[in-house]
Amino acid sequence: MKLLIVDDEEHLVESMTESLPWSTVGITSLSAAYSGKQALGIMEQEPADLVITDVRMPGMSGIELIGEIKRRWPRTVCMLLTGHAEFEYAQEGLKHKVSHYLLKPVKDEELLANVKEAIDGWLAEQEQMRTLVQSQAMVHRNRPILRANLLNNLIQGRPWHDRKLAEELALYDIPVRVGDETSLMLIRMEDREQRYGISDVPVMAFAVTNIVEELLGDGYGSWSCEDLYGHLLFVVDHNLEKEHPQRQELERLADEARRIVSRLLRLTVSIVVSPAGVFPDSLEELYQRCVATIRSQIGADSDVVVRLSEDHEKAAPHIVASLYTPPLFAHLLEAGNWSAAREKLEEIFREWRAQYSGSGEHLSEIDYALKAAFSYFVHKNGRLLADYRLNQASDFKGIGELAYWAFGMLDKLQEEMNTEMSESRHSLVNQIQRFLQTHLSEDVSLQAIADHVYMHPTHVSKVFKKETGENISEYVLRLRMDKAVFLLKESKYKIYEVAGLLGYKNPTYFIKVFKDHFGVTPQEFRE
């Protein structure tokens, strides 16, 4: 971080630049100016990240300087330091988004603390901007994958609020809108002549997708993905009908796609075309009908196009649906989202009581599904099923016993994971403390510590505070003062040598800090 101090009182600037340990709060480069004009000249040569300026200066005032800096270097953080406490200065400073407003004379500790706070805020803002840019780049780079994942989530029955879904559709530039009339085309590819290897399958799927999208492009909007069974699925939007009154019917386009794929790629495809429905409400049902048709009607046949009938009596579901509706219980366990996992269990048992109360068949379904999820989590974390009795047969007499066991297992796993996390944090704090004790005379800034443990400075600071109850800066000060006492009592080092061993480049500042801490100077303490 680059700091620029601006004040027409040269002795004050020199005192601030030479006597304060700026490196301890993250300042790596320091410069000074004695007027607003000179400050702008420095900024033009090498812009500072943080500017501390007096308000009243000859020529250009501090307020005018900040206004110009914010116009030309909007990301620079500005602080006002003045001996004039008039309210209008504070108001003017706020207009230019001044981060801090300090009154002279300001204590060294207060100034350093405010600078550190400003730097932390600047770093957090930079991290937020960097995250935003990275996320936008990621969306652009991974748009095809994100579009396919969203469609797979919808056909699997994951609930979406209309407003949130509309935002996702717009973000991924998908030509389908909530409430549109849509149909589905489900395509099964087969390489009957065995012309291609396994590694060629993704390329062939890409080629078939391009052919179908080009045919649909004149009259329909489309959105595609590969489903869990390896089928190609297209959501076909009918809302372009007014713009293309002569468009071909979907069955004809599907048949043309079948012939083109056969001729160009020598692949055999079977295509199921669904009737129209309202997006996204009818999506899951239409998809399940298409899959069922591939399985039960087409079967071993191939090279056909099937149109589903408009009239269809929806079969009553015979499963505990919440077991299979994303997010799955196993995924919540794996993510360590304990509160959501508990809510999922409550949803599952609530569904059984509402729809299948008394059904041992569905009680067993829940039992098997939960045991499978717990077994996966236990093995994933290097444990044995026997440690949790998951290798033993279940004999639950009712939903109450099953729920008691499931919630108990969840609590046990959460407690063990939290213990492991606590031990990990404790180990991190020990590592930080050893680093500080070993490098006390060197750079012990938060950034240096973070680089040593390969973590973000903000995370390091939060973990240390949570585990020890004190800030890293407080711990460093206490460590330095304890070592100062030892060196002054047990060694013959001179005061300036003690200051250097403690990481204080300026002995005068060390003497001041020591006196503030103990009430006497180092020499008085030694005597």
**Domain range annotation of the chain:** 2-127, 175-307, 321-416, 422-526
pLDDT of residue 313: 61
- % pLDDT > 90, the chain: 36
**Token representation of residue 165:** 């879904």
Rounded CA separation 225/235 (Å): 9
CA 473 → CA 26, 108, 258, 506, 510, distances in Å? 11, 14, 70, 18, 15
The alpha carbon dihedral of 280, 281, 285, 286 has a sign of negative
Name the pLDDT band for 403 (thresholds 50, 70, 90). very high
pLDDT of residue 248: 64
Q: What is the overall mean pLDDT for the chain? A: 86
pLDDT of residue 505: 83
- Cα-based torsion angle of the residue sequence 410, 415, 421, 426 in order, rounded to the nearest 10 degrees: 180
pLDDT of residue 154: 92
Which residues are CB-neighbours of 394 under 8 A, at least 6 positions away? 367, 371, 402
**Cβ atoms of 280 and 325 closer than 8 Å:** no
Name the pLDDT band for 139 (thresholds 50, 70, 90). low
What spatial distance separates the first Cα and last Cα of the chain, rounded to whole Å? 40
Rounded CA separation 290/268 (Å): 18
Which alpha helices (DSSP H) does 99-230 contain, by range? 108-141, 143-155, 162-171, 201-216
pLDDT of residue 93: 55
pLDDT of residue 314: 59
Phi, psi of 101 (to 5 degrees): -130, 105
User: In this model, does residue 92 exceed pLDDT 70?
Assistant: no
**Token representation of residue 194:** 């065995």
295-340 per-position pLDDT tens digit:
887 877 778 888 988 776 655 557 888 888 778 899 999 888 999 9
Checking 342-347 for CB contacts under 8 A at 24+ apart, the result is 342/407, 342/410, 345/370, 345/403, 345/406, 345/407, 345/410, 347/322
Which residues are CB-neighbours of 382 under 8 A, at least 6 positions away? none
pLDDT of residue 79: 87
User: In this model, does residue 135 exceed pLDDT 90?
Assistant: no
**Token representation of residue 95:** 């207009």
pLDDT of residue 397: 84
**Cβ atoms of 517 and 481 closer than 8 Å:** yes
Class of domain 422-526: mainly alpha
Instruction: Compute the average pLDDT of residues 178-199.
Output: 91
**Token representation of residue 170:** 């717009």
pLDDT of residue 89: 59
Instruction: Compute the average pLDDT of residues 410-423.
Output: 88
**Token representation of residue 52:** 């501390």
User: In this model, does residue 358 exceed pLDDT 80?
Assistant: yes
Rounded CA separation 230/222 (Å): 19
**Token representation of residue 511:** 């003497």
Instruction: Compute the average pLDDT of residues 49-58.
Output: 88
The CATH architecture one would assign to domain 175-307 is: 2-Layer Sandwich (3.30)
Which alpha helices (DSSP H) does 226-328 contain, by range? 250-265, 283-293
Name the pLDDT band for 407 (thresholds 50, 70, 90). very high
The CATH architecture one would assign to domain 2-127 is: 3-Layer(aba) Sandwich (3.40)
Instruction: Compute the average pLDDT of residues 199-217.
Output: 92
- % pLDDT > 70, the chain: 94
pLDDT of residue 316: 55
Instruction: Compute the average pLDDT of residues 114-142.
Output: 80
Instruction: Compute the average pLDDT of residues 418-431.
Output: 85
Where is pLDDT greater, at 10 or 257? 257
Name the pLDDT band for 118 (thresholds 50, 70, 90). confident
When mean pLDDT is compared across 126-140, 285-299, 404-418, 483-497, the lowest value belongs to 126-140
Nearest CA among 11, 4, 55 for reference residue 32: 4
User: In this model, does residue 117 exceed pLDDT 80?
Assistant: yes
CA 28 → CA 22, 157, 392, 445, distances in Å? 8, 54, 62, 10
Rounded CA separation 67/85 (Å): 19
pTM: 0.50
When mean pLDDT is compared across 30-44, 82-96, 148-162, 266-280, the lowest value belongs to 82-96
Instruction: Compute the average pLDDT of residues 211-226.
Output: 91
Pairing verdict, β 100-103 and 77-82: parallel
User: In this model, does residue 369 exceed pLDDT 90?
Assistant: yes
User: In this model, does residue 87 exceed pLDDT 70?
Assistant: no
Each residue of 103-133: b (16+ CB within 10 Å) or e? eeeeebeebbebbbebbbebbeeeeeeeeee
Name the pLDDT band for 345 (thresholds 50, 70, 90). very high
Name the pLDDT band for 468 (thresholds 50, 70, 90). confident
